[in-house]
């Protein structure tokens, strides 16, 4: 995906510029960086881990006070996580520069909670979109720490600064087909990173936070019972992504059982909307239709059900996330780990829209909204991880925290398309529809 014009200020570019400096300038620059580094390190040696790649990269781009781990950085962390309301929660949101993360962070902040974001800004999709979300959030006083969830020292440091009451854990390697290209990134984020976060939450916090985290509807895999209910079998994942999310649910069970962590997994169903992810079909279909490019639409085999998704609008999902946070009970573990006062809450919920829409219908809605027709290439769906059909039963979330999706696909896509043309400064006439 080429979006070069939004890529102006990436650190990559900065590094490249540095390489072209004459040799003596580089030496002077290196000395200066070293001096600054030693100074900061002496002040904060106990609070300044330097082991992870995330930290190393942060140091390289220390042109702003945000990433240097010093007093100014701590102040930003503290300010962002202080609730405006006395009764407000303090929530650490991982994946805060992501699609669902950025929306949740804003909703929590707006109602008076203290919120700190964390994101590693990886380049699985255009990082400039993540930076734009970050810039948007910083206008609301939200700070996002540039770090990886695998960085245990950093997580401990954050809990030293703020005893978060909740973690909303949304950081993950997303996407189904990308696992064929880069399987290890799924293990790194969805398994190792999740375990690292749970370890810190179990052993290095006092009191322990309650954790709400993103599982996925993909855990239903090749399930044929519809709608998908939480009690349905989830032992036939069709992709490595689904397998790592399913593993996450089992790992959550373990940490709940041993350490008394309160854990709620949310199975998201094809979330879409403004500020969405460029790797998702509704997003790249929109781009292709506007660019007069081709789109590939998957078709089911003969006699199979039509390919359909239970598309869920972002605002509905945000309500679900907030509802899960508000009904999460306290963890029961004894800080330090290994003991608990009693059983802790362990939950899993579907967050879907309850009305599957065929992908062909998605395309025709976009064609109508954009006032153009798509060059469609219809092919048989390959077995590369996608499941043919999803449909959520959300009665459990409805019963426990009043979850009730209210946005149909046309309404939601209209909002998405409106955002899209504005964000990418595209001159086009949108059709009212």
Provide the binding-site residues for ligand NAG, judged by CB under 6 A.
227, 229, 393, 395-396
SS3 annotation, 90-137: EEEEECCCCHHHHHHHHHHHHCCCEEEEEECCCCCCCHHHHHHHHHHH
Query: Residue 89: CA atoms inside 13 Å, Cβ hemisphere, count?
Result: 23
Residue 360 burial by Cβ neighbours in a 10 Å radius (0-12, 13-18, 19+)? middle
**SS3 of 393, please?**
coil
Residue 346 or 430 with smaller CB distance to ligand NAG: 346
Cβ 166 vs Cβ 209: under 8 Å: yes
Q: Which of 125, 178, 220, 241 does the annotation list as catalytic? A: 241
| Shortest spacing between CB 219 and ligand NAG, in angstroms | 16
| Shortest spacing between CB 399 and ligand NAG, in angstroms | 7
| Shortest spacing between CB 224 and ligand NAG, in angstroms | 13
**SS3 of 79, please?**
helix
| Shortest spacing between CB 345 and ligand NAG, in angstroms | 17
User: Residue 371 region, left (φ>0) first, then alpha (ψ -120 to 50), else beta?
Assistant: left
SS3 annotation, 200-241: HHHHCCCCCCEEEEEEEHHHHCCCCCCCECCCCCCCCCCCHH
Distance CA 145, CA 75 (A): 12
Residue 44 or 395 with smaller CB distance to ligand NAG: 395
Residue 247 or 392 with smaller CB distance to ligand NAG: 392
| Shortest spacing between CB 213 and ligand NAG, in angstroms | 20
Residue 79 or 399 with smaller CB distance to ligand NAG: 399
Cβ 77 vs Cβ 143: under 8 Å: yes
| Shortest spacing between CB 395 and ligand NAG, in angstroms | 4
Cβ 324 vs Cβ 405: under 8 Å: no
Would you say the C-alpha torsion 268, 309, 179, 423 has a positive or negative sign?
negative
The pair phi, psi for residue 133, each rounded to 5°, is -60, -40
Residue 170 or 308 with smaller CB distance to ligand NAG: 308
The helix or strand, by DSSP H or E, that contains position 358, with its residue range, turns out to be strand 357-358
Q: Is 403 a catalytic residue?
A: no
Residue 130 or 267 with smaller CB distance to ligand NAG: 267
List active site positions: 241
């Amino acid at each position: 995906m080429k979006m070069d014009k939004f890529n102006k200020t990436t650190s990559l570019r900065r590094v490249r510029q540095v390489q072209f400096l004459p040799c003596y300038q580089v030496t002077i620059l290196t000395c200066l960086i070293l001096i600054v580094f030693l100074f900061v390190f002496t002040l904060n040696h106990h609070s300044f881990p330097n082991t992870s790649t995330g930290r190393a990269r942060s140091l390289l781009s220390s042109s702003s006070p945000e990433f240097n781990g010093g007093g100014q950085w701590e102040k930003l962390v503290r300010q962002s996580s202080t609730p405006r309301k006395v009764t407000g929660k303090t929530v650490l949101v991982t994946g805060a520069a992501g699609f669902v993360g950025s929306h949740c962070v804003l909703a929590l902040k707006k109602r008076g909670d203290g919120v700190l974001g964390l994101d590693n800004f990886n380049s699985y999709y255009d990082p400039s979109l993540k930076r734009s979300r970050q810039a948007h959030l910083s206008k609301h006083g939200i700070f996002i720490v540039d770090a990886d969830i695998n960085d245990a020292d950093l997580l401990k440091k954050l809990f030293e600064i703020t005893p978060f009451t909740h973690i909303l854990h949304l950081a993950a390697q997303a996407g189904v087909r990308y696992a064929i290209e880069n399987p290890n990134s799924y293990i790194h984020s969805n398994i190792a990173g999740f375990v690292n976060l749970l370890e810190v939450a179990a052993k290095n916090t006092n009191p322990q936070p309650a954790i709400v985290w993103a599982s996925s509807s993909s855990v239903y895999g090749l399930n044929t019972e519809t709608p998908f209910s939480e009690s349905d079998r989830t032992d036939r994942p069709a992709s490595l992504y689904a397998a790592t999310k399913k593993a996450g649910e089992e790992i959550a069970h373990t940490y709940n059982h041993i350490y008394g962590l309160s854990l709620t997994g949310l199975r998201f169903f094809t979330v879409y909307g403004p500020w969405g992810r460029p790797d998702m079909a509704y997003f790249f279909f929109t781009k292709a239709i506007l660019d007069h490019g081709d789109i590939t639409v998957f078709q089911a085999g003969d006699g199979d059900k039509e390919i359909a998704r239970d598309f869920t609008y972002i605002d509905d999902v945000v309500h679900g996330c907030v509802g899960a946070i508000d009904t999460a009970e306290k963890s029961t573990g004894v800080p330090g780990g290994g003991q608990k006062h009693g059983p802790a809450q362990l939950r899993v919920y579907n967050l879907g829209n309850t009305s599957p829409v065929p992908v062909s219908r998605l395309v025709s809605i976009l064609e109508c909204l954009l006032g153009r027709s798509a060059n469609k290439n219809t092919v048989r769906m390959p077995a590369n991880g996608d499941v043919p059909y999803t449909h959520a039963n959300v009665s459990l979330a409805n019963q426990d925290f009043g979850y009730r999706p209210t946005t149909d696909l046309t309404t939601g896509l209209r909002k998405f398309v409106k955002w899209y043309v504005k964000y990418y400064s595209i001159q086009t006439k949108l059709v009212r529809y």
